[in-house]
Copies of this chain bind each other. A is one copy, B any other.
Amino acid sequence: MTKHNFFAGPAVLDRSVMDQAASAVGTFDDMGLSILEISHRSKQFVAVMEEAEALVRELLNLSDDYAVLFLTGGASSQFFMVPMNILASGDTAGYVDTGTWSTKAIKEAKLYGNIEVLASSKEDGFNHIPKPDVPDHLRYLHITSNNTIYGTQYKGFPNTSVPIVADMSSDIFNRPIDDISKFGVIYAGAQKNLGPAGTTLVIVRKDLLGKVDRQIPTMLNYETHIAKNSSFNTPPVFPIYVCMLSLRWLKANGGLKVMQAKNDAKAKVLYDEIDRNSLFAGVAATEDRSNMNVTFTINNADLEGKFLDFVTEHDIMGLKGHRSVGGFRASIYNALKTESVHHLVSLMKEFESMHA
């Protein structure tokens, strides 16, 4: 019973990761206990946390200027934690509005400082990534590197001396980042391209901190978690453990360059078929097409439900598009196998021969 998991998140992880995770829920390490019942202060879990951090540093080539944190609350909590921690009330930050998640980030940031929305593709249904000039006076520039709902993605990052804050929830670790020093903060809910739901990776350039004078609750202050290696309070032990397994898998499979090549190849197979097939059309502007979330529609509304039923009968899960876009969304994260994309493409061809 092989299912092809195209869910947008929580999403597919490699089977080897799941098997190791299941085993650790049974008995972890040599402890004779489940990983669910061990102290976060045990040397065994401290080693997990350290390895997870080290793998993030290695894969992204991070210097000691950056802290690596595993927090909770999702990217949605970073929408306010970023400005709360680094935007003083008189400061201005720039935001690029590329969809639902950017819009939410903008809303929360307005509680803390001046927010300039530099550009938005809202009028075009968020079908592309606008590339505005970035004024130098900004404290930071916030972008959403990949837009899960609309299927758009930054192919290169803005050329600016302003620190970039990036919500990378849906494409973290999908490719190398050439110039990591451009970034002030990178954050990502784990449950799309990194691990299971329940933890949020936050990477912060430490020199940005300590410059606001508002009172920040202890748990919302990045400095709290930096000082305590993400264990000021009890961290989400098992979600972090599975992220670590997933990072190990990423490294063992060649790291980010190899992953990017695989991801681009998988995406090309699918976009080529969307462009070739007389029934389907892509949603996102060609130059901004995501290699993580592929959005497409069918040219006959009567066939939409039929196509979903057809692929579901053939073991494909999670292909329904987000309600705000409609159509279909194939989320093809790192752990989705090339075979799953080929399977979908063959079903698209078969459906065309039945209905074109």
Check A234–B191 contact: CB distance below 8 A.
Answer: yes
Binds B, one of A2-10, A160-168, A175-183, A295-303: A2-10
Inter-chain CA distance A198–B7, complex, in Å, is 22
User: What's the number of copies of this chain in the assembled complex?
Assistant: 2
Inter-chain CA distance A80–B233, complex, in Å, is 14
Check B111–A217 contact: CB distance below 8 A.
Answer: yes
User: Is A327 at the interface (CB under 8 A from chain B)?
Assistant: no
Task: Write the chain B residue with the least CB distance to A20.
Answer: B25
Check B76–A9 contact: CB distance below 8 A.
Answer: no
How far does the Cβ of A217 sit from chain B's closest Cβ, in whole Å?
A: 4
User: Is A266 at the interface (CB under 8 A from chain B)?
Assistant: no
> Which residues in B have their C-beta under 8 angstroms from that of A2?
32
User: Is A19 at the interface (CB under 8 A from chain B)?
Assistant: yes
**Apart from A73-B219, A111-B217, A189-B233, what are 7 other A-B pairs with CB-CB below 8 Å?**
A19-B26, A36-B196, A72-B72, A80-B217, A189-B234, A191-B234, A197-B235
Interface residue ranges, A against B (CB under 8 Å) = 1-3, 5, 7-13, 18-19, 21-23, 25-26, 31-34, 36-40, 42, 72-77, 79-80, 84, 104, 107-108, 111, 189, 191, 195-199, 215, 217-220, 232-239, 242, 315, 317-318
